[in-house]
Amino acid sequence: MRPQQAGSVRAAAGRDLLGLQGLPTAELRALLARMRELAPQANAPETRTGALAGKTVATMFFEDSTRTKTSFTLAARRMSAEVVDLPAGASSVNKGETLIDTALTVGAMGVSAMVVRARQAGAAAMVAAAVGCPVLNAGDGKHEHPTQGLLDIYTIAGAHGRLGDFDLSGLTVAIVGDVASSRVARSAIAGLLPLGARVACVGPPGLAPRSLGCLGCAVEGDLDALLPEADAVMMLRIQFERHGEGGDAQKSVEKRSAAIASVREYRALYGMTAERAARMRPGAIVMHPGPMNRGLEIDGAVADGPRSVVLRQVAHGVAARMAALAWCLGV
């Protein structure tokens, strides 16, 4: 076992990227600057930078994923690494012990880095403590999703002309909806605050409780009051599947109804409708990490409309993961 922390360094084999919380701001800026360097070639199918030639990256997703897994795979291939995918059925990893055994098994065959997604918060750190290669957290329960944080921050910086120094002072980012369950929000907050942005979370008390203030962000109840101040509005999916964690199915149903009284009411108070999008600042953007529930947290017309940067976020995902792999493997 070895010590674990966000961005912990191991001279020989590289370093882990487990979260943005606690990552020195200089390292965060270095990752974003690397993204800027890689962005022009990141989404070209023929790109093979050669930087990870001879390396093998294992993707181990113990939870569903479309964007994150695909972009990690493309990122590794576009840096000339080999990619091995572990098709991890959820049934085989109900216990932390099993997940560690699986990681040790893959590690024993010799891989250069592991990309891990799991339902349990802290899973990537547990794997990192057990294996001898760098581990990249691709989302661990409600905890963190650092590469999503990088791509979100990069998208905000790009939309507001801050790609030069990634100084986000003067910008307000609103994070709307199920913040309590969201690793996307946690990583975004951890990265946005040290770069100078103001972050305000808003949602019903069950999904955006006051206690989120301990992360350093503001917590507000009224989306309509916040909208005219926001330069970026990040909409989140209601992650019903996380509400029952640690409880049984009946509890999950109860928590669901406690969190939002009705879908119609939720949309009326917290949904990004076309009418709300029209009241935003000139140049303000609407973000969503996906998968989107059109007609619930975001209307289709907004998701496909001029303020939406949803596909730009996805596109930045490849550069984010290329930068993260390079950073972890020390190339």
Report whether 231 contacts 171 (CB < 8 A).
yes
183 interacts with ligand NCD by CB under 6 A: yes
> Among 36, 67, 255, 294, which residue sits at the site for ligand NCD (rule: CB under 6 A)?
67
- DSSP assignment string, 141-160: TTS--HHHHHHHHHHHHHHT
> Least CB distance from residue 293 to ligand NCD, whole Å?
9
Q: How far is residue 214's CA from residue 298's CA, in Å, rounded to a whole number?
A: 27
**According to CB under 6 A, which residues from 102 to 141 bind ligand NCD?**
139
> Among 194, 196, 209, 290, which residue sits at the site for ligand NCD (rule: CB under 6 A)?
290
# of chain residues touching ligand NCD (CB under 6 A): 11
| Closest CB to ligand NCD among residues 188, 328 | 188
> Least CB distance from residue 35 to ligand NCD, whole Å?
16
In 3D, which of 141, 226, 228 has the Cα closest to residue 175? Answer: 226
- The residue whose Cβ lies closest to ligand NCD is 237
Report whether 185 contacts 216 (CB < 8 A).
no
- DSSP assignment string, 198-264: EEEEES-TTTS-GGGGGGT-EEES-HHHHGGG-SEEEE----HHHHTTTS-HHHHHHHHHHH-S-HH
| Closest CB to ligand NCD among residues 14, 314 | 314
Q: How far is residue 228's CA from residue 210's CA, in Å, rounded to a whole number?
A: 22
184 interacts with ligand NCD by CB under 6 A: yes
| Closest CB to ligand NCD among residues 14, 76 | 76
289 interacts with ligand NCD by CB under 6 A: yes
| Closest CB to ligand NCD among residues 55, 243 | 243
191 interacts with ligand NCD by CB under 6 A: no
Give the strand pairing for 218-220 and 198-202. parallel
Residue with tokens 């922390």: 5
| Closest CB to ligand NCD among residues 29, 67 | 67
Q: How far is residue 122 from each of residues 100, 132, 201, 294, 306, measured CA to CA in Å?
A: 12, 17, 23, 31, 38
CA 286 to centroid of chain Cα atoms: 16
| Closest CB to ligand NCD among residues 14, 309 | 309
> Least CB distance from residue 319 to ligand NCD, whole Å?
15
Residue with tokens 């990004």: 272
**According to CB under 6 A, which residues from 220 to 239 bind ligand NCD?**
237, 239
> Least CB distance from residue 175 to ligand NCD, whole Å?
12
148 interacts with ligand NCD by CB under 6 A: yes
**According to CB under 6 A, which residues from 256 to 285 bind ligand NCD?**
none
Report whether 199 contacts 218 (CB < 8 A).
yes
Report whether 256 contacts 240 (CB < 8 A).
yes
| Closest CB to ligand NCD among residues 14, 31 | 31
| Closest CB to ligand NCD among residues 134, 289 | 289
> Among 145, 198, 267, 316, which residue sits at the site for ligand NCD (rule: CB under 6 A)?
145
Interaction site with ligand NCD (CB under 6 A): 67-68, 139, 145, 148, 183-184, 237, 239, 289-290
